[in-house]
């Protein structure tokens, strides 16, 4: 009979009042649930908790450090949603206008009436592609956008949400590019990451690759519930996600739905702005009304792709109804495949982010994140 595994050295910031969170973090390593991980929380402008430990490689030879970048998969969607929200806040875009008003080709196949907010809240009916294609096609931005523009919706747009795991990034990213002229990856660096000193990337330059963590895939498949055509094209075809080009090309690509690289600190500090009226460290990221508009519910109900009841804002997952980001009904954020998450709690002025490189099979609501978040709120 084997006992707990050795717990690697835990580094970071942990005042005495957050000792129970550190205990949970250590227990996850002792139970063999982690390879490398980091959990960061803020109150107001201040980082009040920041823990990291473990390894950034599968051989467990390279320590997980303060500058280790972790692929956060769909947690990237929270960043993409914020970038679009900034255009709305600046008066350059309206959530209620049609996608075709900025992207005329999108009006094909009966999609002329789909609004920006419907596209961002997974109501457009474009969760993936039914026709076979080379998975490497995902690396061709214009080709994917052309396929989305030509595609007929899989359900009546606006009638229900159906999670768009990868296509969301191309929809949001092309809307952004048509209005702003830049890619989301470039705008993130120029407008937010560099001015605020945040280690956040959509499209990771080669020079940063040595800092990037490897990840260990789950040994079991997620539970998708009752299978349907939308779930199949979203997740279960051999071409449902980018592939065929290798890890370096995947890191280098800009896929604003799925391949962001970040530190937990960078994510938590970005979300701190959204938890505190749109400003952090003296810099305004959104107006208070812009934060409310981003988080306002666009649709709720049983999702057609994920086996969950979900409330969606304009590209963010609302906490109400699922309660995966603590007790706040106004809290919102996003989770990523394998366990990562980031959220903002405007009622308490709190934000947090969890990143890891040993993935679980949970689609959302990873047990490790839930444990850490529950412990955090018990200490506040």
- Is residue 266 over pLDDT 90? yes
Read off the DSSP letter of residue 106.
Answer: G
Instruction: Answer left, alpha or beta for residue 326, where phi above 0 means left and psi between -120 and 50 means alpha.
Output: left
User: Is-contact 239 135, C-beta < 8 A?
Assistant: yes
Angle at the Cα of 351 (from 347 to 352), degrees rounded to 5? 145
DSSP string, 34-91: -SEEEEEEEETTEEEEEEEEEBSSTTS-SB--TT-BEEEETTHHHHHHHHHHHHHHTT
β-bridge partners, 356: 37
Instruction: Kindly state the percentage of the chain with pLDDT values over 70.
Output: 99
Q: Give the span between the Cα atoms of 250 and 229, in whole angstroms.
A: 27
Name which of 335, 361, 143 is nearest 258 in CA terms. Answer: 335
Of 1-5, 166-170, 269-273, minimum mean pLDDT range: 1-5
Q: Give the span between the Cα atoms of 263 and 199, in whole angstroms.
A: 6
Pick the CATH number of 11-379 from 2.60.120.370, 3.40.710.10, 3.30.450.20, 3.30.70.100: 3.40.710.10
Residue identified by tokens 């779930």 is 231
Name which of 373, 320, 295, 304 is nearest 160 in CA terms. Answer: 304
- Is residue 32 over pLDDT 50? yes
Known catalytic membership, residue 74: yes
Q: Which helix (H) or strand (E) holds 377?
A: helix 367-379
Tokens of 281: 């460290």
Write the CA distances from 14 to 168, 183, 376, integer angstroms: 36, 37, 11
Q: Give the span between the Cα atoms of 173 and 167, in whole angstroms.
A: 10
- Mean pLDDT, residues 248-252: 98
pLDDT tens, 123-159?
Answer: 999 999 999 999 999 999 999 999 999 999 999 999 9
- Mean pLDDT, residues 200-224: 94
The SS3 call for residue 276 is coil
The SS3 call for residue 27 is helix
- Is residue 1 over pLDDT 50? no
Read off the DSSP letter of residue 55.
Answer: B
pLDDT score recorded for residue 221: 81
Of 219-228, 241-250, 316-325, minimum mean pLDDT range: 219-228
Q: Which helix (H) or strand (E) holds 42?
A: strand 36-43
* Beta-strand pair 279-280/283-284: antiparallel
- Is residue 3 over pLDDT 80? no
Average pLDDT, the chain: 97
pLDDT score recorded for residue 105: 98
User: Is-contact 207 99, C-beta < 8 A?
Assistant: no
Band (pLDDT 50/70/90 cuts) for residue 162 is very high
The SS3 call for residue 376 is helix
Angle at the Cα of 192 (from 57 to 245), degrees rounded to 5? 40
The residue count of the chain comes to: 380
Instruction: Kindly state the percentage of the chain with pLDDT values over 90.
Output: 94
Q: For residue 348, how many other CB atoms are within 10 A of its CB?
A: 18
Read off the DSSP letter of residue 69.
Answer: B
User: Is-contact 56 357, C-beta < 8 A?
Assistant: yes
Question: Cβ neighbours of residue 341 under 8 Å, at least 6 residues apart?
Answer: 75, 324, 325, 333, 334, 335, 353, 354, 366, 369
Write the CA distances from 101 to 88, 150, 174, 177, integer angstroms: 14, 16, 12, 13
Of 78-82, 150-154, 246-250, 359-363, minimum mean pLDDT range: 359-363
* Domain coordinates in residue numbering, the chain: 11-379
- Mean pLDDT, residues 288-308: 97
């Amino acid at each position: 009979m084997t006992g707990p595994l050795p717990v690697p050295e835990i580094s970071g910031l942990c005042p005495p009042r957050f000792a129970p969170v550190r205990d949970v973090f250590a227990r996850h390593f002792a139970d063999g649930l982690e390879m490398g991980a980091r959990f960061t929380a803020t109150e107001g402008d201040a980082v009040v908790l920041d823990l990291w430990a473990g390894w950034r490689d599968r051989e467990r030879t390279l320590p997980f450090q303060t500058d280790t970048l972790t692929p956060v998969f769909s947690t990237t969607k929270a960043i993409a949603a914020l970038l679009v929200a900034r255009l709305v806040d600046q008066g350059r875009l309206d959530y209620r206008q049609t996608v075709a008003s900025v992207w005329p080709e999108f009006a094909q196949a009966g999609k002329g009436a789909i609004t920006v907010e419907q596209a961002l809240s997974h109501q457009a009916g474009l969760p993936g592609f039914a026709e076979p294609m080379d998975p490497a096609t995902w690396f061709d931005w214009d080709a994917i956008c052309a396929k989305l523009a030509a595609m007929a919706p899989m359900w009546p747009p606006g009638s229900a949400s159906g999670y768009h795991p990868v296509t969301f990034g191309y929809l949001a990213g092309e809307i952004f590019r048509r209005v702003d002229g830049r890619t989301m990856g470039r705008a993130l660096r120029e407008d937010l990451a560099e001015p605020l000193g945040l280690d956040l990337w959509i499209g990771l330059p080669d020079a940063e690759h040595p800092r990037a963590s490897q990840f260990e895939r789950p040994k079991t498949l997620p539970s998708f519930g009752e299978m349907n055509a939308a779930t199949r094209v979203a997740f279960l075809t051999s071409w449902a996600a980018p592939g065929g080009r290798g890890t370096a090309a995947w890191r280098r690509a800009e896929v604003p739905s799925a391949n962001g690289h970040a530190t937990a600190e960078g994510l938590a500090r970005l979300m701190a702005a959204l938890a505190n009226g749109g400003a952090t460290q003296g810099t305004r990221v959104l107006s208070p009304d812009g934060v409310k508009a981003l988080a306002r519910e666009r649709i709720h109900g049983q999702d057609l792709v994920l086996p969950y009841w979900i409330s969606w804002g304009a590209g963010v997952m609302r906490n109400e109804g699922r309660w995966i980001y603590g007790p706040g009904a106004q809290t919102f954020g996003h989770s990523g495949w394998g366990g990562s998450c980031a959220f903002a709690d405007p009622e308490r002025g709190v934000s947090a982010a969890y990143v890891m490189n040993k993935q679980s099979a949970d689609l959302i609501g990873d047990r490790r994140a839930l444990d850490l978040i529950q412990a955090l709120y018990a200490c506040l």
